[in-house]
Chains A and B, each alone.
Chain A
Amino acid sequence: MKYLFLLYGDENAWDAKSSSEKEAVIGAYVAYSDALRKADVLVAGEPLDHSRNGARVRTGSVEDGPFADGKEQLGGFYMIDADNLDEALDWAARCPAAADGHVEVRPVWNIGG
C-alpha cells in the first residue's frame, strides 16, 4: 500500500533559525530520504516553499498565502510504499518533522481495487 506523509511544522520557527541550524535540519532530511531510498520504500517526496509564497484558490477567488490555518503549516510531503499502516507509522516517526511538528499519514486511494 502506498502512504502519503504530510509534514506539518511551524514556518516561522524555521525562518528564525540560523543558517547553521537550517543546514542541520536539511542534513537530517537528506539522511531520512536516503534511508527511505535504501530501504526501497520511497516513491516520491518534495519540500515546499513558505506558504506566504503560495495561494488558496476557490471558484471565483484567489487568496494569497500565508493561510491562517493554525500554528503549523504543510512544509513538504513524502510518498512511501509499505506493507501496512504499522510499517508506515514506523517510517513516519523517523521523519524529522515528527520531532518538532506532526506527520499526518494518509493511505493513497487505490481506485478500483
Chain B
Amino acid sequence: MLLLAYEAPEDFALRENKQKFESYMGEWYAYSEEMRKAGVTQDGAALEPPHTATVVSVRNGERLVEDGPYPDGKEQLGGFFLIDADDIKSGAAWAAKCPAAKTGFVDVRVVPSLEDHAK
C-alpha cells in the first residue's frame, strides 16, 4: 500500500519557519516512529517543496521540460510511505493518523502484487 501525503502551502511554509520547524518535524517523526514500531513501513521519503518540481513529457519525439508541479493544485505531495497493510481499510486507518490528513489529505493507493500483475 502506498500512502501519499499531500500538504497545504502552510505546511510547506512551516519547514522554513525557524520557530515552528521542530514541532512540524516532531509530528512527522512521531508518526513514522509509530509505523516503524508496528512493523508496517517498507520505505518512505520526504520531498523538497513543490517549487522544486519539474515536469517532463515527450511529444512527437521532442522533449518538453517545464517548471512544475504537476498537476498544479493547492495541496502538493510532501512525502510518501510504502507500508504493509492487508486492505484499503487498514491503509486508510494509518493515513488518518498522518500529520498531512489535518490540513491536506492522504491518498491510499494499492501497489499490485506480482500475482495481480500477471493477470
Contacts and interface: CB of A to CB of B under 8 A. Distances in A.
Interface of A: 2, 4, 6, 8, 26, 44, 46-49, 51, 53-59, 62, 65, 67, 69-70, 72, 74, 77, 79, 85, 89, 92-93, 95, 98-99, 101-109, 111
A13 B63 CA distance: 22
Interface string B84-101: 000010011001101001
B47 A57 contact: no
B70 A8 contact: yes
Interface residues of B, number: 47
Interface string B60-96: 0001010011110100010110100000100110011
Contact of A105 (B2, B55, B82, B107): B55
Nearest to B105: A58
Contacts, number: 134
B33 interface: no
Contacts of B56: 89, 92-93, 95, 98, 102-105
Which of B50, B68, B98 has the most A CB atoms < 10 Å from its CB? B68
B101 to A, nearest CB: 5
B45 interface: yes
B102 interface: yes
Q: Which 8 A-B pairs have the closest CB atoms?
A: A49-B110, A57-B95, A92-B56, A109-B46, A54-B109, A104-B70, A107-B48, A55-B108
A62 B86 CA distance: 17
A98 B46 CA distance: 23
A48 B110 contact: yes
Given A59-B101, A79-B45, A99 B58 contact: yes
23 contacts: A2-B45, A44-B82, A46-B111, A48-B2, A48-B112, A49-B109, A49-B116, A55-B95, A57-B106, A58-B105, A65-B109, A67-B107, A70-B71, A72-B71, A77-B2, A93-B63, A98-B63, A99-B59, A101-B57, A105-B68, A106-B47, A108-B48, A109-B46
Nearest to A98: B58
A106 B53 contact: yes
